[in-house]
Amino acid sequence: MEPSEVFKIFKETKALLTGHFELRSGLHSDQYFQCALVLQYPRIAEQLCAAVVEKMRMALGAKLQVQGVISPALGGLPVGHGIGRALNVRAFFAEKVEGRLALRRAFEVKPDEHLVVAEDVITRGGRVQEVMDIVTARGGVVEAVCVLVDRSGGKSGLQVPVFSLVQMEPATWPPAECPLCRQGSPAVHPGS
């Protein structure tokens, strides 16, 4: 699936927003990918997740050994489920407990278990790194990260291969340097 096709799907489902946004990373931007709006359509979600898995399979080939998919809740849940379906492996998630991601609900990472971390969008990759830390602290192995949109332009700094349908680096600013704030436009956080 070409990035132009992905952008078309995001625009048709009104999942690509323009305005003044505060991202989860704390940065401000004039673009926001509200993946929940595209993921509300199960067939489209399935198509997007299968496409990112295909990219990963083509790149890693026989080296790809995955027993499961783990995602950060909430945005990563449908992506992780779709990627798990495409790989035919279990999909589970980490969720916030006192401000940090943690495993709950009797989910576990087994020693030497090879996992893919799935997320909808990354900018700096902080939540994905938190999930990776959970996996490695329990003796698991993170094979790769799969995301629908990589807003880091490939600069997330994650130490495993990152596969995405769209890789871009839209304008972002720390709040103190945001030109939209200087114009008096209030930043909104349309995410969770």
Structural domain includes residue 187: no
Tell me the C-alpha to C-alpha distance, in Å, between residue 168 and each of 1, 31, 75, 145.
16, 11, 19, 16
Does 74 sit behind a cis peptide bond, omega within 30 degrees of 0 on the bond before it? yes
- Is this structure's pTM higher than 0.85? yes
Bridge partners of 162, per DSSP, are 145
What local confidence, expressed as pLDDT, does residue 49 receive? 97
What local confidence, expressed as pLDDT, does residue 61 receive? 85
Angle between the N-to-C axes of helices 3-12 and 42-60, in degrees from 0 to 180, rounded to the nearest 10: 160
Structural domain includes residue 110: yes
What local confidence, expressed as pLDDT, does residue 124 receive? 80
Structural domain includes residue 175: no
Task: Report the SS3 class of residue 180.
Answer: helix
Structural domain includes residue 37: yes
Quick: pLDDT tens for 72-82. Answer: 998 899 999 99
In this structure, are residues 145 and 163 in contact, taking their beta carbons and an 8 Å threshold? yes
Task: Report the SS3 class of residue 68.
Answer: strand
CB atoms within 10 A of CB 159: 10
In this structure, are residues 118 and 71 in contact, taking their beta carbons and an 8 Å threshold? yes
Q: Which residues contact 119 (CB under 8 A, 6 or more apart)?
A: 71, 72, 75, 76, 79, 80, 127, 128, 131, 145, 146, 147
Q: In what order do the strands lie in the sheet with 68-72?
A: 100-103, 90-97, 68-72, 114-122, 141-150, 162-167
- Domain of 61, CATH number, reads 3.40.50.2020
Structural domain includes residue 107: yes
Structural domain includes residue 56: yes
Quick: pLDDT tens for 60-118. Answer: 987 888 999 999 998 899 999 999 999 999 999 999 999 899 899 999 999 999 999 99
Number of residues that this document lists for the chain: 192
Q: Which residue range is the domain that position 22 belongs to?
A: 3-167
Structural domain includes residue 177: no
Angle between the N-to-C axes of helices 76-87 and 42-60, in degrees from 0 to 180, rounded to the nearest 10: 60
Number of independent structural domains in the chain: 1
